[in-house]
Amino acid sequence: MPALRTVISIAERMPEIGRKFYEAGPARGIATLRRYLESQVAAGILAVDDCELAAAQFLDSCQSTWFKQLLFNFADPPSDARVAQIVGAAVRTFMAAYRRRD
């Protein structure tokens, strides 16, 4: 979080720093998951129209209940059990939306 806060604070004055940080982190994660989802669509397991959007939404849903709390120093990091609960809910929601139902 400290590095993220620093990048956010200087990104407006130095957009190339924000861009590089995003490309090395979030964009890379989204691209990796997008490729995996595309392979699952090709295998007939999932029915996803926009794999990049689905990847970004899934990753966001995995951090939806704790990311802003940490960003603003509102709470301590979630326990492993809480992370498992949050990610499990994200997976169930994702699969309910995108599982192929031929």
Could you tell me where the beta strands, DSSP code E, fall in the chain? none
User: What digits encode the pLDDT tens for the residues 9-43?
Assistant: 999 999 999 999 999 999 999 999 999 999 999 99
Angle at 2 between CA 30 and CA 72, to 5 degrees: 85
Least confident of 2-6, 45-49, 87-91: 2-6
Q: Can you tell me the mean pLDDT for 1-10?
A: 93
Tally the domains of the chain: 1
Strand partners, 46: 99
DSSP symbols for 19-85: HHHHHHTHHHHHHHHHHHHHHHHHTTSB--S-HHHHHHHHHHHHSTTTHHHHHTT-SPPPPHHHHHH
Task: State the residue range of the domain holding 20.
Answer: 2-98
